[in-house]
Amino acid sequence: MSLEQYAIIDSTLREGEQFINANFTHEQKVEIARALDEFGVECLELTSPLASPGSAEDARTIARLGLKAKVLTHIRCQKEDARVALDTGVAGLDVVIGTSSALRRFSHSKSIEEIIDLAADVLTWIRSQAPDIVLRFSTEDSFRSEEADLFRVYLAVDRLGVVNRLGIADTVGIASPGQVARIVGTLRRMTKADIEFHGHNDSGCAVANAFAALEGGATHIDTTVLGIGERNGIASLGAFIARMYTWDRDLVRQKYHLDGLRGLELLIAELVGVDIPFNNCITGYCAFTHKAGIHAKAILNAPETYEALDPHDFGVTRYVSIAHRLTGWNAVKGRADQLGVALSTEQIKALTLHIKALADEKRLTLDDVDDLLRLWANGHHDAATDSALSLAEETPADAQ
């Protein structure tokens, strides 16, 4: 396992540009590149300079920003593409060619032998032109390619001794974690170069597959901010960070400026006109909210009981929700303490039952609960609440 040595290749400026709403200006690309570098991703991948004159200019500028992250660009397996890409001054080239029968038939019409010959020709030429460049060779749609074809291509390329990294791509998001770990594991045993995994999220496995790739021996993982990309995108940077944090918290804290994640996501969300999803890892609005009374009680005593990630590391805050029927008296007491409202434990328990009964009737807000706490502290509760008070003796207020 190479889990301790993994590196992130953030492709927000390449795969992310393939997201339907993405249309970054030159200045926005520079801002994104700087923000990603500041966060600490190890590499940035940029759109091919052949895509448009502006894309070439973007690559030239970002390559010259003096970032800590290695700046890479993404090209087809063609000498002409490589020539243009090398002229931009980037530190690395990510070369890709399709190997699945669908891509061979409908995209470039080449046989596996022709792919191997072309790759050898292009890759050795690039190495001769740029001895120090980081050179990656990837197959597209790797997981729908015949395994025998795939390994023939990778073996042949690895034996050239000119590439630093082999890439494997789940282009249509159909791979499963077990399959990824197995295929990457085989590749790890057969070849010497580093291994990069790029996985789409069509069936919801992008992050799980990225982690499985690391377990199989991969060294580099492709991400984009919020997972933006072609269709519904690839592994999200934040979700991948969450996954790695649960694996090795200290390593992730050392490698990245975690409190910059939210800003990075807000920047991209705004530029592409989307909201941060409610259930986003780490930054989703309910990622650190706690509701059930039993959870709230434990959270107030020791947050790690129900939190795998520490929100403080990411500059976000936890929220314990108390205005609902699942509430518990410990949480209500916590709120009373926050407000500096003096009520006995018995009163808190009775009020908790009252809140539960009210919540069965109507939707409550935190303001409603705060008002009740103050009313009860001032002795202003009414007959209905008194009857709840008498029930308090018999009914456990922390039942949910």
Q: Which residues, 6+ apart, have CB-to-CB distance to 70 below 8 Å?
A: 42, 43, 44, 91, 92, 134
Member of 48, 145, 171, 330 binding ligand HCA (CB under 6 A):
171
Least separation in angstroms between CB 291 and Cu ion: 37
96 binds ligand HCA per the rule CB under 6 A: yes
Within residues 10-49, the interface with Cu ion by CB under 5 A covers 15
Can you tell me the distance from the alpha carbon of 242 to that of 247, in angstroms, rounded to the nearest whole number?
9
**Taken in order 252, 93, 223, 237, is the CA torsion positive or negative?**
positive
Binding mask of the shown chain, residues 212 to 241, with x at each position contacting ligand HCA by CB under 6 A: ------------------x-----------
Among the listed residues 284, 202, 271, 272, the one whose alpha carbon sits nearest the alpha carbon of residue 235: 202
Beta bridge partners of 95: 75, 137
Shortest distance (Å) from residue 262 CB to Cu ion? 25
Residues 6+ apart with CB under 8 A from 48: 14, 55, 73, 74, 75, 76, 81, 85
Q: For residue 312, indicate whether it is catalytic.
A: no
Could you say which of ligand HCA, Cu ion, none residue 139 binds, taking C-beta under 5 to 8 angstroms by partner kind? none
- Nearest CA to 356 among 320, 383, 396? 396
Residue 10 interacts with ligand HCA (CB under 6 A): yes or no: no
Q: Based on CB atoms, which residue is closest to ligand HCA, 225 or 353?
A: 225
Name the token pair of 41.
């991703």
Nearer to ligand HCA, 75 or 341 (CB): 75
Place of tokens 């700046």: 71
Residues 260-289, interacting with ligand HCA (CB under 6 A):
none
Q: Which does 138 bind (CB under 5 to 8 A by kind): ligand HCA, Cu ion, none?
A: ligand HCA
Local structure of residue 40 (DSSP, 8 states) = T
- CB of residue 198 to ligand HCA, shortest distance in Å: 4
Residue 334 CA: distances (Å) to CA of 86, 87, 337: 61, 62, 5
**Rounded CA separation 211/240 (Å):** 8
194 binds, among Cu ion, ligand HCA, none (CB under 5 to 8 A by kind): none
Q: Which is nearer to ligand HCA, 10 or 15 (CB)?
A: 15
Distance CA 277, CA 274 (A): 9
81 binds ligand HCA (CB under 6 A): no
180 binds ligand HCA (CB under 6 A): no
Of 177 and 328, which CB lies nearer to ligand HCA in the complex structure? 177
Q: Tell me the C-alpha distance between 238 and 226, whole Å.
A: 7
Residues 315, 259 contacting (CB under 8 angstroms): yes
- Cα distances (angstroms) measured from residue 364 to each of 52, 292, 340, 358: 55, 15, 21, 8
Name the minimum Å distance from CB 145 to ligand HCA: 11
Task: Return the closest-CA partner of residue 236 out of 228, 227, 244.
Answer: 227
**Taking CA 37 as the corner, what is the angle to CA 212 and CA 175, rounded to the nearest 5 degrees?**
20
Q: Which of 167, 233, 293, 328 binds ligand HCA (CB under 6 A)?
A: 167
Based on the shown chain and the rule CB under 6 A, indicate whether residue 37 belongs to the binding site for ligand HCA: no
Site string for ligand HCA, 183-202 (x = CB under 6 A): ---------------x-x--
62 binds, among ligand HCA, Cu ion, none (CB under 5 to 8 A by kind): none
Q: Which of 200, 220, 295, 324 is catalytic?
A: 295
- Number of amino acids touching Cu ion (CB under 5 A): 1
Q: Could you give the string, one character per residue 121-140, with x where binding to ligand HCA holds by CB under 6 A and - elsewhere?
A: -----------------x-x
140 binds, options Cu ion, ligand HCA, none, Cβ within 5 to 8 A by partner type? ligand HCA
- Contact partner at residue 96 from Cu ion, ligand HCA, none, CB < 5 to 8 Å by partner kind: ligand HCA
The residues of the shown chain that bind ligand HCA, judged by CB under 6 A, are: 15, 18, 74, 94, 96, 138, 140, 167, 169, 171, 198, 200, 230
The residues of the shown chain that bind Cu ion, judged by CB under 5 A, are: 15
Which amino acids are annotated catalytic? 295
